[in-house]
Amino acid sequence: MLKETLSEIRDETSLAEIVWADLVAVKNELVELERERRESTDAVRYRCWELYCTYNGRTVGCQSFWRCGFDHVRRRLENTGRDFTAIRRYDEIATGVGCEFPEWEERSADELFAWLFEPYVPWPKRESFYWEAIERIQGQGSSLEGDGLEVAF
């Protein structure tokens, strides 16, 4: 069960006799693991959106929408019965990404835009990291088991 507030997490920590500093340390490790897990895919998505904005006459302010921008583009295209090939310079976006990110070098524009058109998965709530840390400290296993995080308590 996900604890909804920091107050409830503090209560749970007290009941489980977990030292708050230990909990925060494990939570911070979990946040860092999540950051590392997302680093590459976020960089690719950001660069694609940056290229899209540049090639399609968007303003610099548009670039902050890299997480959700392609979802809006996809919906606009679908509403008019078109696909990603209607995006100006889509092939140059795919080629540019392939040059900058080796994992996309051999992949097609079809694959890239299919991935970009999938909704961006937002970060978990802060409270979920705390709850995961409580589970790890208590030794109850977790959804991130086997990710290399060691709990030395």
Whether 136 and 142 have beta carbons less than 8 Å apart is answered as: yes
Among the listed ranges 48-52, 69-73, 96-100, 137-141, which one has the minimum average pLDDT value?
137-141
pTM above 0.85, yes or no: no
Query: What would the pLDDT profile of 69-108 be if each residue is shown by its tens digit?
Result: 999 899 999 999 999 999 999 999 999 999 999 999 999 9
For 14, the token pair is: 């007290």
The domain limits of the chain are 41-128
Please tell me the total number of residues recorded for the chain in this structure.
153
Average pLDDT of the residues of the chain? 87
Around Cβ 22, how many Cβ atoms within 10 Å? 15
